[in-house]
Amino acid sequence: MATALALGLAAPVASLASAPAAHSSAVKKKVVKKKKPLLVCRRGCPYSSIQKAVDAAPAGATVRIKPGTYVEGAIVKATKDNLKIVGLGTKPQEVVLEGKGAKTPDGNPAQNGIFVDGADNVTMANMTAQDFPANGFFVRNCRGYLMSHLVAGFNRAYGLYAFNCIGGRMTYSVGYGHGDSAFYVGQTPVQANPEKTILDHLEGYENVLGYSGTNSKYIDLRNSEFYNNGAGVAPNTLGSEKYAPAMSGTVQENLIYWNNFNYFKAGSPVKALPAATGGFNYPTGVGVVLFGTTDWTVKNNLVFGNFKYGIMSVSDPTYAPATNHGNQVRYNTMGAAFDDANGADIWTEGSGSGNCWENNSAGTTFDPGAEPDLVLYPKCTGSPQNVTDPAQLGEIAGYLTQSSGQEDSWVKHPHPPRPDRKPIDGLGG
């Protein structure tokens, strides 16, 4: 805090009291006290908690956190635009926000590791958030954010979560053990000049869903790895959030495999949140799910070893905005190329309009319905027409009304080994 010291003339001594006063003026000198660095550690730093440092930080500042375990959750208010919160360890696991026993400053249980509520362009980097009742890292009502080199583990809902934001990026991060998804982008506002949300170099495993995004838009999900989830990647449209449908996204150049985690079983280390899809459960054994999406492109991905479907496309017949339109599934390399088959590489019930499939790898299999394959799975050239297939509708309705029984229809087989990866194939962990 700055302090001003006023330097004046001393009072005259008694013998000079009658002497004429000399002309003088007070000289004011401002002494600026150096601000505390926004450095956090358990002992010996200016701040002993992340929340205290965040509260003291002006917009645009950087809060630096030394290695250690911090049993707390931090809230970043809307006045903190451009704030950076950065762990100082050599890897994210050295700075841990622990949710078990964590409290907010008012004494209530902390719901999130870090919650950014309305601040724009906040950066969170090089930290771990685990065991929180809601989410690991959560941003809401913002324009831009950066989540980089983060680890989120066994939080109840989401690992890295963005809601009602325009633009932003999740990158070089890992999420596992979540009751919904490791990475989630929801309720993206409609934009005349869209700002893309970039998700890249992510790793999601042992979650109900690896990536999920209800009514998400302008997404580029790429160069990431999703394995051992219930389902790998699942953009979707639901009435539970604003701005339906999920639209204008790209899923490209990802590795999506072994998503055969049957979290419905009693011994599962992960318990799914109540499904937002009403009377239907989320599908397991699936690499990519396009659920009620518009103008999504799934291309140049490697999709294999998913025991039900590699890539599936399905609408919600009870909610009109959740009807698939204009989606393209192209140039993906499917199970046969890896000697690691999907149950069926491609599945759809034929609903919607303008959805198409073409130029996927040799040996790609299409789940047969009552309609001929060329009708059910039209190519992208020209103006593709879609026809709803009642046989396929019946098949998927039967599948999604089951829980642990979904596994009964999986097409199981051993997987060729992959370095540093072990398949779950049902229940594991």
User: Residues 407, 410, 412, 418: is their CA dihedral positive or negative?
Assistant: negative
DSSP state of 191: -
Q: Is the pLDDT of residue 203 over 90?
A: yes
The single-letter code of the amino acid at 39 is: L
**Would 220 be classed as within a structural domain?**
yes
Q: How many alpha carbons fall within 13 Å on the CB side of residue 409?
A: 16
**Would 5 be classed as within a structural domain?**
no
Cα separation, 62 vs 343, in Å, equals 49
Q: Is the pLDDT of residue 179 over 50?
A: yes
pLDDT score of 25? 45
**For the chain, what is the total number of helices (H) and then of strands (E)?**
3, 29
| Number of domains, the chain | 1
How much is the average pLDDT of 270-285?
Answer: 85
DSSP state of 189: P
Helix (H, G, I), strand (E, B) or coil at 320: helix
**Would 334 be classed as within a structural domain?**
yes
CA angle 363, 364, 366 (to 5 degrees): 130
Q: Which two tokens stand for residue 119?
A: 């601040």
Least confident of 51-55, 173-177, 301-305, 424-428: 424-428
Cα separation, 133 vs 129, in Å, equals 11
Cα separation, 190 vs 251, in Å, equals 20
* Per-residue pLDDT band at 37 (split at 50, 70, 90): confident
**Would 420 be classed as within a structural domain?**
no
Residue-number span of the structural domain to which 404 is assigned: 42-409
Cα separation, 90 vs 406, in Å, equals 42
List, for residues 40-84, the tens digit of each pLDDT value: 999 999 999 999 999 999 999 999 999 999 999 999 999 999 999
pLDDT score of 30? 56
**Would 359 be classed as within a structural domain?**
yes
DSSP assignment string, 100-154: TT-B-TTSSBP-EEEEEES-SSEEEEEEEEES-SSEEEEEES-B-EEEEEEEEES
List, for residues 101-121, the tens digit of each pLDDT value: 999 888 899 999 999 999 999
Nearest to 154 by CA among 189, 192, 191, 182: 182
Q: Is the pLDDT of residue 9 over 80?
A: no
**Would 34 be classed as within a structural domain?**
no
CATH number at residue 96: 2.160.20
Helices (H), ranges, 324-408? 373-376, 390-400
List, for residues 340-367, the tens digit of each pLDDT value: 999 999 999 999 999 999 999 999 999 9
Cα separation, 307 vs 285, in Å, equals 5
**CA dist list (Å): 401 to 57, 88, 184, 198, 407:** 50, 47, 24, 33, 12
**Would 146 be classed as within a structural domain?**
yes
**Would 357 be classed as within a structural domain?**
yes
